[in-house]
Amino acid sequence: MSLASIDPTKTSAWKALQKHLDNIKDTHLTTFFKENKNRANELSIKWNDFFVDYSKNRIDATTKKLLLQLAEETKLKEAINLYFSGAPINQTEKRAVLHTALRTPANKTIHVDGKNITQEIKKVKSQIKEFTEAIISGKNTGYSGKAFTDIVNIGIGGSDLGPHMITEALAFYQNHLTSHFISNVDGDHVQQTLKKLNPETTLFVVVSKTFSTQETLTNAQTCKEWFLQKSSTEDISHHFVAVSCNTENTTSFGINQHYIFPMWDWVGGRFSLWSSAGLSISLSIGYHHFNALLEGAFEMDTHFKESPFDENIPVILALISIWYNNFFKAETEAIIPYSQYLHKLPAYLQQAFMESNGKSIDRDGNPISYQTGSIIWGATGTNAQHAFFQLIHQGTKLIPTEFIAFKESLFQEEKHQDKLIANFFAQTEALMNGKSTEEVSSELNTTTLPEEQIAKLIPYKIFKGNKPSTSILINKLTPKSIGALVSLYEHRIFAQGIIWNIYSYDQWGVELGKQLAIRIEQEINTKTVNKHDQSTTNLLTEYIN
């Protein structure tokens, strides 16, 4: 069974949404609230320890009904069933998409090519658990007999962003091991990281699904050379572990075969933190917390798979995103976590969203005539408020903004927590309500400014409001809740890809630059400039000479 190919713009829901947009595009959010006294209750979802309020979005009951109809007409339900069943929905690479299997309890069965994979997953999880415990407890030591103190994750893209984001997000739960992440092929960053480390007590986790990524292999090689300055070749097997599908290349790197953690081709790089690619997470917070992360994700998987669409968080958020992207023509979406622990979440989501849905060919192989992909950006609140919120409040662009926060502070810092949350709520209120001419002028009239100056100032101080936002309030930042949050986004990305009629699980778009970089590197090495456009020729000449 394969995914159906349905042009969303040909559905009756899409056409109706276009007409409907004309009816409501000028309606102010405050009018929606005046017209429906129960709006906030109707447009919010309570699930486990999540409270999702989407009432401050420019939608009404008809919008919601039509968006849900769009999901029906594009056969989202059928696609969800295929996704979880292990059907090869990554059709351009002929692969299943089963990161969800990694968090499914082992007593369930999921078949890929006729083989139940849950037992294989269980085996690898035991390997992760055992290794984690041996490193944390000091049972496995470095070459000089000292316990490990530092873990260096070497990987890029999905082999870095997920483990890095989660390790930072769960820093509160971190044990005595210090984690470092090397991703960029920037040698200065590699040396800057190594400068602080002692080879005797450093464990390198080389993560690369393909084990052919230029950046990762170069960085791993440099780390190996640094390590060998103080140790011998046999010691490599105690200090370097690999996570990969490509066991052949890992062995030739010198990695002990017991220290190779397998991955599978049915786990996409950007969805791999739940697999062995999450080894650094397990090492930094312990296997039991890593497992709780998986449990949280599994709960969200079940919610996504089983809840009716009108109370299904990933589906609702996907539909709202499509509403802004394709109908309001919003160019970007901001994600603002009010938790410093989540400071890497926007960067992580950029890969997840943009590598998945940045496509322009439909599932029939034809060019697409509508917008796909969400441009995701953001930073933590309150920092973001003092940086770019000016543009969201008073700029010319419509930027739907998603706010995420936890009710409880992990250190019980209530005074800070109340201020943090007050800022979150205040922003959503300000974005929606704005500030009228009357409010501005009565405020200015209390000042000593001359009347003429007041009149000139008024237009600059007005906030039109009507800026949409969605709020996600979660009880507490725990491995389980962050697991559920990340899973929510994964499913939202899936749902959007289905509705846009694209393939979300390949990433051919990153290949061309890689190929050209290899050729250009050779030219740099041999100091010869081959045929390029004039600009590239000039750049190369400037660098070489």
Interaction site with ligand G6P (CB under 6 A): 156-159, 208-210, 213, 216, 269-270, 355, 507, 510
Phi-psi category of residue 138: left, alpha or beta, with phi > 0 → left and psi -120 to 50 → alpha: left
**In the complex with ligand G6P, which residue's Cβ is closer, 141 or 210?**
210
Q: How many CB atoms neighbour CB 469 within 10 A?
A: 25
**In the complex with ligand G6P, which residue's Cβ is closer, 299 or 355?**
355
355, 393, 402, 467: the catalytic one is: 355
386, 397, 456, 464: the catalytic one is: 386
Could you tell me how many residues make up the chain?
545
Amino acid at the residue 543: Y
Q: Residue 169 CB, nearest distance to ligand G6P (Å)?
A: 19
DSSP 8-state assignment for residue 541: H
Residue 307 CA: distances (Å) to CA of 59, 74, 467, 493: 21, 18, 29, 17
**In the complex with ligand G6P, which residue's Cβ is closer, 202 or 213?**
213
**In the complex with ligand G6P, which residue's Cβ is closer, 90 or 159?**
159
> Rounded to whole angstroms, how far apart are CA atoms 178 and 261?
21
User: Does 176 participate in catalysis according to the annotation?
Assistant: no
**In the complex with ligand G6P, which residue's Cβ is closer, 158 or 468?**
158
Q: Which residue has the tokens 């899973």?
A: 487
In what helix (H) or strand (E) does residue 473 lie, and over which residues does it extend?
Answer: strand 469-474
> Rounded to whole angstroms, how far apart are CA atoms 489 and 138?
36
Strand partners, 471: 53, 403
**In the complex with ligand G6P, which residue's Cβ is closer, 1 or 510?**
510
> Rounded to whole angstroms, how far apart are CA atoms 284 and 151?
8
Q: Residue 208 CB, nearest distance to ligand G6P (Å)?
A: 3
Q: Residue 157 CB, nearest distance to ligand G6P (Å)?
A: 3
**In the complex with ligand G6P, which residue's Cβ is closer, 154 or 540?**
154
**In the complex with ligand G6P, which residue's Cβ is closer, 101 or 217?**
217
Q: How many CB atoms neighbour CB 195 within 10 A?
A: 8
User: Does 94 participate in catalysis according to the annotation?
Assistant: no
**Cross-sheet strand order for the sheet of 240-244:** 178-182, 150-154, 202-207, 240-244, 260-262
Q: Residue 524 CB, nearest distance to ligand G6P (Å)?
A: 21
Q: How many CB atoms neighbour CB 47 within 10 A?
A: 16
Q: Residue 215 CB, nearest distance to ligand G6P (Å)?
A: 8
> Rounded to whole angstroms, how far apart are CA atoms 237 and 148?
14
Q: Residue 104 CB, nearest distance to ligand G6P (Å)?
A: 22
Q: Which residue has the tokens 């901001």?
A: 334
Amino acid at the residue 103: R
Q: Residue 246 CB, nearest distance to ligand G6P (Å)?
A: 8
Q: Residue 518 CB, nearest distance to ligand G6P (Å)?
A: 13
In what helix (H) or strand (E) does residue 376 lie, and over which residues does it extend?
Answer: strand 375-377
DSSP 8-state assignment for residue 381: T
Q: What is the 3-state secondary structure (H, E, C) of 57-118?
A: CCCCHHHHHHHHHHHHHCCHHHHHHHHHHCCCCECCCCECCCHHHHHCCCCCCCEECCEECH
Nearest to 2 by CA among 116, 77, 73, 79: 79
Residue 101 CA: distances (Å) to CA of 40, 186, 267, 439: 35, 35, 9, 55
Q: How many CB atoms neighbour CB 24 within 10 A?
A: 15
- The values of phi and psi at residue 180, to 5°, are -130, 150
Q: Residue 271 CB, nearest distance to ligand G6P (Å)?
A: 9
**In the complex with ligand G6P, which residue's Cβ is closer, 220 or 474?**
220
Nearest to 290 by CA among 301, 276, 303: 276
User: Does 139 participate in catalysis according to the annotation?
Assistant: no
**In the complex with ligand G6P, which residue's Cβ is closer, 207 or 405?**
207
46, 115, 397, 514: the catalytic one is: 514
Q: Residue 342 CB, nearest distance to ligand G6P (Å)?
A: 21
Cβ neighbours of residue 455 closer than 8 Å, sequence gap 6 or more: none
Residues known to be catalytic: 355, 386, 514
